Structures are given as C-alpha cells and as structure tokens.
Amino acid sequence: MNGRRGHRQAPSTEEADQLRARIAELEDRLRLLEAHVRRLTAQTSALAQQSRRPLPKVPAARPRPRCPGCRLELPKGRRGEACVWCGFVFDAVQMG
C-alpha cells in the first residue's frame, strides 16, 4: 500500500478555464445583486424619511397551526381529517 486515498487528477486546462469563466460569471452576478440590494435599501430609507407620520402598528398575528407531519402551515378554515399538503392523519397525534 502506498498510503494514498482517493488520488485526484488535476483538472485539464480546458476544465480549469471553464471553471474560471463560471466563477467570473457568478462574481459578476453577485456584484449586480449586491448593487440591486443597495439601491433598494437606499430607496426604502429615502421613502421612510419622507413619510411625515409613523406607520401604524400592526398587532402580531397569531401563528397558524402546523401539520405535525410536514410542519407546513395549515390553510384557514375547518381542518379535515388529514393534512392537505402531505396527507398526515391528524388522529395519529393529539393536537392542541
């Protein structure tokens, strides 16, 4: 045994060039997204400063019940015998 595990070959020049191009493209997209977020943040703060009266306080909404099987929020209205999302049968557990 030579003691090496999982010997990997270095990527070919073509593969390395493709990876570099992909990384450069992703970096460009990231810069555009960051600029977009900065612009939206500036617009939001400018609108908030222009507002003469504070926004009304909205009472905290009561959290919707969730399915114990898939943990998704259950839709409003009367609950059936099973989850509309995953089919979990509610009789299997005691829900509060």
pLDDT, tens digit (0-9, with 9 covering 90-100), for 43-60: 888 777 776 667 678 888
Written as six digits, the tokens of 51 are 């507002």
**Per-residue model confidence (pLDDT) at position 57:** 84
Q: In this structure, how many other beta carbons lie within 10 angstroms of the beta carbon of residue 82?
A: 15
83 contacts 74 by C-beta, under 8 angstroms: yes
Written as six digits, the tokens of 72 are 């998704």
Task: Sort 42 into a burial class: Cβ within 10 Å, 0-12 / 13-18 / 19+.
Answer: exposed
Task: Give me the percent of the chain exceeding a pLDDT of 70.
Answer: 84
- For 89, phi then psi, to 5°, come to -85, 120
Compare 9 and 18 and report the one with higher pLDDT: 18
